[in-house]
Amino acid sequence: MADNTIRRSSTSITLREEPQKDKDLKEKGKEMDEKGKVKGEEKGKEKAEQLPGLLVTSNLKEVIDECRSQVETIAKECRANNTKFRDLDFDLLNDRWSCLIGLDWTVAPRYPSGVMRVTEVFDNPKFFKADGAPSSDDISQGGLGDCWFLCALATISNIPRLVHEVCVARDEEVGVYGFVFYKDNGWVSVVIDESVHVLFIFGSADFPDPYITSRATIINSNSLLCTNAPKWDELSKEEQDLYSDREQFNNLTRKAGKNLTFAKSGAQGETWVPLIEKAYAKFYGNYSYLQGGYPREAIEDLTGGVASLFMTTDILDRDKFWEEQLLKANEDRLFSCYFPGLNGPDGEERSDIRVQGLYGNHAYSVLRARECNGKRFVVVRNPWGESEWTGPWSDGSKEWKGEWLKILPDLEHRFGDDGQFVMEYSDFLDCFTHIDRTLLFDSSWTAQSKWLQVPVSADPIPWSYGNISCT
């Protein structure tokens, strides 16, 4: 007899109240030392611990400690054997198809030319740039349809400590990196090596098409069609003659961040963006799984937060939404946005149709909301690192004159085709139809989960979510 029961996991968040601790904190804050100064260290430390961050579950500390221990053990063993770390569970070189595509060949991402360690791609690779602060400006999408994940990554980068909390441990000399992601009702540790997919690029040409995989075609001595170029020994005599020697060829085509197949950083030599993307691909099994998704789902995976969707046409009071939601961005909540793709005259969806520079079916990060000189502005970013809004208040538009130029520092914005742009709040709501919001939680919240039995009527029935009752 068929079991018409669906089992699914449901997670609920419960606030743990600690009034006595708050009272004790107040007393500590009033204590005076022998010099007559207020002792605020304990209070400040406790306050810092209460900042929203990764969702505190029963296994969070255990998983972080496990991740750090695993990275340390691997680094120690590699040094003892005089080797760099190779992740045999996610080996891009020796198990390329499993890592790239898995079992589903229908959603294959851009095919890379080869695999290189970050120490081969960059002369002086660093996980974070010199100041150690990850930024949304660091993120640029490559030949993988994971704008939703990179949008989420740019969004959490507005709270840099969140990125640091996800990137748990690393040994850059050995090439081992540890991360944590949230899955179902707990945290999972993911450890990877430093190998990344690359495209071997001729000269300085940019990618003409994300799915070209043939050899480079010679146009003239200074201009070559940029494709997945072969190695030096695979070049014809005519192709080799375009370069003085093997070293020059390798320097031009292989030793640059632009030859990374997938995500890359806008800062020279910075590696955290392609490596966290690789860890996320391992988390889900392969790179092709990242082809398409919703930014709210990725933010949940990165923070353990709880996401919800707002349809802009359903907002009853726009003033209230501004004051109670968007103005709290980067405090205890994060936002992203998008709108559906547009159709051509034939009714077919067209990826080349834009709304004043913006693309449908493409995720954008909401970086911040500001009110300046009586106007409301939203700063948004395209994970491509280019291609921006061209409507009112776009970079260099007629609105930017006189006193309005003085608000740029308040908006933390500068002109340039870097993917970041400014929109007036009304235009933002009129353009984007979907707004994702993810609530973050501090350490005073705990996560609890349990299995629910959901009865399903016998076939045939219309599709539904089932008969679910949460009490």
Over residues 32-61, the pLDDT tens digits come to 343 334 444 444 444 445 788 899 888 899
Indicate the average pLDDT of the chain. Answer: 78
pLDDT at position 40: 43
Which two three-digit tokens encode residue 62?
Answer: 């255990």
DSSP code of residue 291: S
DSSP code of residue 402: G
pLDDT at position 353: 76
CB 239 within 8 A of CB 227: no
pLDDT at position 170: 96
Q: What contacts 48, CB < 8 A, 6 or more positions away?
A: none
For 61-96, the pLDDT digits (tens) are 999 999 999 999 999 999 999 999 999 999 988 888
**Cα distances (angstroms) measured from residue 35 to each of 38, 39, 44, 80, 350:** 9, 10, 19, 52, 71
**Does the pLDDT of residue 393 top 80, yes or no?**
yes
The mean per-residue pLDDT over the stretch 358-368 comes to: 92
Confidence of residue 470 (pLDDT cuts 50, 70, 90): low
pLDDT cut 90: percent of the chain above it: 45
The mean per-residue pLDDT over the stretch 139-160 comes to: 90
The mean per-residue pLDDT over the stretch 255-264 comes to: 72
CB 406 within 8 A of CB 20: no
Q: Beta 349-350 vs 354-355: how paired, if at all? A: unpaired
Count Cβ atoms within 10 A of the Cβ of residue 160 and give its class: 0-12 exposed, 13-18 middle, 19 or more buried: middle
pLDDT at position 222: 26
Q: How far apart are CA 287 and CA 111, in angstroms?
A: 11
Confidence of residue 464 (pLDDT cuts 50, 70, 90): low
Confidence of residue 339 (pLDDT cuts 50, 70, 90): very high
Block residue for tokens 């997919």:
197
For 403-420, the pLDDT digits (tens) are 999 999 999 999 988 889
pLDDT at position 102: 80
Amino acid identity of 314? D
Block residue for tokens 């190695």:
231
- Return the domain boundaries, the chain: 60-197+261-290, 201-253, 305-439
pLDDT at position 351: 67
**Does the pLDDT of residue 436 top 90, yes or no?**
yes
Confidence of residue 254 (pLDDT cuts 50, 70, 90): low
The neighbour count for residue 105, using CB atoms within 10 Å, is 9
* Highest averaged pLDDT of the listed ranges 258-262, 326-330, 451-455: 326-330
- Which residues are bridge partners to 34 per DSSP? none
**Does the pLDDT of residue 313 top 90, yes or no?**
yes
Q: How far apart are CA 226 and CA 379, in angstroms?
A: 34
CB 176 within 8 A of CB 78: yes
The mean per-residue pLDDT over the stretch 385-405 comes to: 92
Catalytic residue ranges: 147, 362, 382
The mean per-residue pLDDT over the stretch 22-26 comes to: 37
Q: How far apart are CA 40 and CA 200, in angstroms?
A: 56
pLDDT at position 462: 67
**Does the pLDDT of residue 172 top 70, yes or no?**
yes
pLDDT at position 106: 64
Domain 305-439 has CATH 3.90.70.10: yes
